[in-house]
Amino acid sequence: MSRILLDTSAMSALFRGHEGIRETIAMADRVGVNSVALGELGAGFRGGTRHEENRRGLREFLHRPRVRTLSIDAETAERYAQIYDSLRRAGTPIPTNGIWIAASAMQFGLRLVTTDAHYQHVPQIALELHDV
């Protein structure tokens, strides 16, 4: 059983036609998208010239039967604190939103699919790193 979480960079790459990420999604039994990533995507859409087209594509993707939106809750916050502390102690900070996304991957035991190499500093999660 393959269960994955897409971060913002993976979602963006998917919408640009990234074949490797498309294949990963096709093979997954369950695909998660963190609400933080959705916020980042929405902010990016608003700054672009294809705002409505991108929003429509995202809505269609989120309505696929295997796709789930993951919300932030108290357990996610605890995982966030663990990851944040680990990164701080190691001297390897990553963007705050990335910590929230990693916390969801940790919480739900999902492999994080990304194009962002900074997640390699998060030992608490399984990672699938794709080239852009």
Domain segments of the chain as ranges: 3-129
CA distance 45 to 34: 17
Task: State the pLDDT at residue 51.
Answer: 86
Angle in degrees, CA 92, 94, 97, rounded to 5:
155
pLDDT at 1 over 80: no
Are the CB atoms for 99 and 72 separated by under 8 Å? no
What does DSSP assign to residue 117?
Answer: G
Smallest CA-to-CA distance from 116 within 18, 9, 5 is with 9
The larger pLDDT score, comparing residue 1 to residue 4, is at 4
Q: Tell me the two tokens of residue 33.
A: 């998208």
In tens, the pLDDT along 11-52 reads 999 999 999 999 999 999 999 999 999 999 999 999 888 889
CA distance 132 to 8: 13
Task: State the pLDDT at residue 63.
Answer: 97
Could you confirm whether domain 3-129 is CATH 3.40.50.1010?
A: yes
- Provide the percentage of residues in the chain whose pLDDT is more than 70: 100
pLDDT at 121 over 80: yes
Residue 94's contacts (CB-CB under 8 Å, 6 or more residues apart) are 87, 102, 118, 119, 121, 122
Q: What is the pTM of this model?
A: 0.95
Q: Across the chain, what does the average pLDDT equal?
A: 96
